[in-house]
Amino acid sequence: MIIPAIDLIDGTVVRLYQGRYDTTTEYAFSPLNLRNQYAQDGSDWLHIVDLSGAKDATKRQLALLTELMTSAPLHIQVGGGVRSEQDVIDLLDAGAGRVVIGSLAIRNPELVQSWVRKFGGEQIVLALDVAINEHGQKTLPSHGWIEQSTITLEQVLDGYIAAGAIHILCTDISKDGTLSGANVAMYQELSANYPQVQWQASGGIGSLDDIRALIGSGVAGVILGRSLLEGKFSLKEAIACWQNG
């Protein structure tokens, strides 16, 4: 499945480079128009990230997120600064099909596992994004890609799978925003080792060939951000590529 992404800061569509707020690119798209265009082009799901809320809980864009999810013409998974059970409830009540939980899933896995059990694996997406270290380990930066950690992806997976997690969005941070291709080998390894997970690949997609490279890797979904915003190819072309190879 191809999943277009919209990242938002203060109501503006943006992209960060490797998760850094000091490398923000703004795009002159209306979030609502972009949502409608992606639905019209055939997408079943949309991925929305509230970067304002991720950085500062007092700046959560709940009103805008609610507007985007109310009577939406497609399913929406949304995240960015989800820090409490009430945040999960608020987003689900606002119309989210799935709530994406990132940094907290690494900092407090017991709490987030309890949410997976309470709300069900279909309503939670874990954003477990990795920085590959010099030893080839998939480490998990714990504060929105800003702070390094020694925790590895594999160390947290078993607990989440036992809690009923189904959907995991995994980004190789070094690929994010680069348009240089996805880390295909990583997704092949993860899909082979954890076949019960519906993996979402994110980061680095810059061409239709990059999408083709992920066909057969085992991933269930591919997140597309900058490549669509900058017209590297159309969403219709991406969907056709994924479906037809």
Give the relative orientation of helices 153-163 and 109-119 as an angle to the nearest 10 degrees: 30
CB 205 within 8 A of CB 212: no
Distance CA(39)–CA(51), nearest Å, equals: 22
Could you tell me if 126 and 158 are in contact, meaning their C-beta atoms sit under 8 angstroms apart? no
Catalytic residue selected from 50, 87, 129, 172:
129
Name the catalytic one among 7, 50, 172, 210. Answer: 7
| 158 in catalytic set | no
Evaluate whether 195 touches 164 at the Cβ level (below 8 Å): no
129 catalytic per annotation: yes
Look at the chain and count its residues. Answer: 245
CB-count burial class (<10 Å; 0-12, 13-18, 19+) for 64 = middle
Question: What sign does the dihedral 47-172-217-153 (CA atoms) show?
Answer: negative
- Catalytic residue IDs: 7, 129
